[in-house]
Structure formats: structure tokens, C-alpha cells
């Protein structure tokens, strides 16, 4: 049995797949409730979020009628999930945690199913993996676009798409190495575990702004002054003496009187020199012979 047959024909996994569709409908309904949608809005958001990724996958593969429309099961589960939130509005931390866990399980399963299906249709490894990730997160992206917000997978959220990517790569590895198809469940578990830990520990990928320092010269001066004052206080606490600024050179006064062109010029001037405080340089390690 190949991975696709395992994921599609196994009754337990199919039940988990339908449960994932239901849970995604519930999660989408919670968003619709916050936005005060009517019943039609709940239904549309629930269908798009729960089935959008699979529909995109089947259209790309030229599968014919997408699996979501091949029977009433998928549509019924998506509508039932959004209807639960519309009618009952369940709340509480336990409910949110349960929805998150089941949603992550469905995500990993969809990533494996999408990748296996793409490989079965003859796609190369990279497109197959990309389509597997699309199957897992595509519905959420379409949902976010419909409500006018930046998709959560683009940044600031847990490693949801990263977990889907791990599962997709693992599924491709099972096929490429010709190992027993049951090993694809290990890939599903690995991706779900990563996404679950990320949601629990609030792990995120580095954002673009996190790699940049955008300070003006004045802000850089204020920052360095605070660091120097803090360092002098630390030296005083550790040595029991008060560092005395040399009469001939007051570095903090220089920061005020010298007009640097920009932050880079200030950085070159300050960090490029070795300023001593009464014979003691607080920026040197205490084990440095020159500090003794």
C-alpha cells in the first residue's frame, strides 16, 4: 500500500480528516462571530477555511471534481462546524485548546495527503511538497483574505506552515526511500508535534524587522549613554568603589557636544575607541590583566 492509499482508504484516518474539516469550520465560525457575520457569512467562511486548501490542490492537479464536492460528507462537516459556533458560541480556555490540538492534527494530515496525492500524479519533489503545504494552509489563507486581514501564516503566529512543511518533506521521504507506507504517520506526528510545541511555547520565525537596527543618531546616543551608566553602576556594585570620570575626558559630555552626522558616525566614534574610567575600563572582563 502506498502512502496515498494509506491516507485515503484507511477508515480511521478518513474519520480524522472529516473531523479536521469540522474543527476548521468551528474555528472559522469563531472568526465570523467576532466579525458579527450573519448565517450566510458563517457558512461561506466555514466552507472556504475547511475545504479551500484541498480544492486548490485538486484544481492544480486537474483531478476533475475536487474531493470536497465528490460527496456530501466534507461539505456537511464544514457547515456543521460553523453552525456549532453560530448557534452555541462555545467559550473557555479548554475549548480553545481542544480546537487548536485538533486543528493541528488535521493540518498535518492534510499536508501528508496533499503531498502523497501530488507525488502520485507525477509531480517533482519540490512542487509536490509545495502543494502538500498548500493543502494544509490554503483554506486559512483564503479565509483571512476574505475577511480583509494579512494571512496568519505570513508572520507573527506559531509555526503552523512550518509544521506542514515538515510533514510534507517527511511524506516525500517515505515515498522516495520506498519505506513502508505506515512511516508516513511518523511524518504526520512530527509536523503536528512541531506546530503544537510552537503554539504552546509561542515560537515564531524571525521577522524581517528583527534583523534591522533603525536608530537615529540621537537615539543611538541615548541608548549608549544608558548602557554606560548601567555599566558604571554595575562596576560600583561589584567593586564597592564609584568609578570617577577622568578630568580630561568626559565621554558622556562628548555625546552632547559633538554633532555626529548619523548613527553610523556615532557608532564609529564611540565603539571604535577604548575609553577608560579612572584607570578602569568597565567594558573589559574582570579577568583582564589590565583591570587588576
Cell numbers at 241, concatenated: 568603589
pLDDT of residue 60: 94
Percent over 90 (pLDDT), the chain:
43
C-alpha cell at 96: 480553545
| pLDDT on residue 288 | 45
pLDDT at 276: 41
Q: What are phi and psi of 277, to 5 degrees?
A: -110, 100
Is the separation of the CB atoms in 24 and 103 below 8 Å? Answer: yes
CA dihedral sign of residues 152, 158, 164, 166:
positive
Note the pLDDT of residue 213.
60
Which grid cell sits at 68? 470536497
Arithmetic mean of pLDDT, 131-136: 95
Q: What are the DSSP E strand ranges found in 111-179? A: none
Report yes or no on whether pTM surpasses 0.75.
Answer: no
pLDDT score of 205 more than 50: yes
pLDDT reading at 132 higher than 90: yes
Q: How far apart are CA 4 and CA 116, in angstroms?
A: 5
Residue 167 CA: distances (Å) to CA of 95, 107, 144, 215, 255: 26, 9, 23, 40, 54
Q: Among 56, 74, 66, 55, which residue's Cα sits nearest to residue 15?
A: 74
Residue ranges of domains in the chain? 3-210, 217-291
Band (277; pLDDT cuts 50, 70, 90): very low
Residue 155's nearest CA partner among 134, 141, 165, 142 is: 141
pLDDT in the model for residue 215: 64
Q: What is the mean pLDDT of residues 182-209?
A: 89
pLDDT 10s digits, 96-122: 888 888 889 889 999 999 999 999 999
The pLDDT of residue 197 is above 90: yes
Which of helix, strand or coil describes residue 181?
helix
Predicted pLDDT at 222: 76
Torsion 185-52-196-76 (CA) sign: negative
Please, which pLDDT band fits residue 261 given cuts at 50, 70 and 90? low
pLDDT digits (tens, 9 = 90+) for 48-76: 999 999 999 999 998 889 989 988 999 99
- In this prediction, residue 10 carries a pLDDT of 79
Among 30-39, 74-83, 90-99, 232-241, the minimum mean pLDDT is found in 232-241
What's the pLDDT score for residue 270? 60
* pLDDT tens string 224-236: 778 877 877 777 7
Amino acid at each position: 500500500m502506498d502512502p496515498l492509499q494509506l491516507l485515503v482508504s484507511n477508515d480511521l484516518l478518513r474519520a480524522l480528516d472529516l473531523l479536521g474539516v469540522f474543527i476548521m469550520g468551528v474555528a472559522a465560525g469563531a472568526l465570523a462571530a467576532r466579525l458579527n457575520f450573519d448565517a450566510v457569512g458563517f457558512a461561506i467562511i466555514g466552507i472556504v477555511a475547511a475545504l479551500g486548501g484541498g480544492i486548490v490542490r485538486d484544481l492544480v492537479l486537474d483531478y476533475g471534481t475536487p474531493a470536497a464536492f465528490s460527496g456530501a460528507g466534507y461539505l456537511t462537516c464544514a457547515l456543521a462546524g460553523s453552525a456549532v459556533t453560530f448557534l452555541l458560541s462555545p467559550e473557555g480556555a479548554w475549548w480553545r485548546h481542544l480546537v487548536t490540538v485538533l486543528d493541528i492534527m488535521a493540518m498535518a494530515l492534510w499536508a501528508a495527503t496533499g503531498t502523497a496525492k501530488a507525488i502520485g500524479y507525477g509531480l517533482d519533489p519540490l512542487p509536490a511538497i509545495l502543494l502538500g503545504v498548500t493543502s494544509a494552509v490554503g483554506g486559512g489563507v483564503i479565509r483571512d483574505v476574505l475577511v480583509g486581514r494579512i494571512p496568519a501564516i505570513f508572520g507573527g503566529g506559531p509555526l503552523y506552515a512550518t509544521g506542514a512543511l515538515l510533514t510534507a518533506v517527511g511524506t516525500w521521504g517515505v515515498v522516495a526511500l520506498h519505506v513502508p507506507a505506515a512511516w508516513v504517520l511518523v511524518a504526520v506526528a512530527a509536523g503536528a508535534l512541531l506546530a503544537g510545541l510552537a503554539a504552546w511555547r509561542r515560537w515564531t520565525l524571525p521577522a524581517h524587522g528583527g534583523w534591522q537596527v533603525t536608530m537615529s543618531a540621537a537615539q543611538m546616543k541615548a541608548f549608549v549613554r544608558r548602557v554606560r551608566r548601567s555599566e558604571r553602576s554595575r562596576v560600583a556594585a561589584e567593586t564597592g568603589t564609584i568609578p570617577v570620570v577622568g578630568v580630561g575626558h568626559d565621554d558622556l559630555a562628548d555625546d552632547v557636544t559633538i554633532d555626529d552626522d548619523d548613527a553610523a558616525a556615532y557608532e564609529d566614534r564611540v565603539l571604535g575607541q577604548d575609553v577608560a574610567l579612572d584607570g578602569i575600563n568597565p567594558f573589559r572582563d574582570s579577568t583582564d590583566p589590565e583591570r587588576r
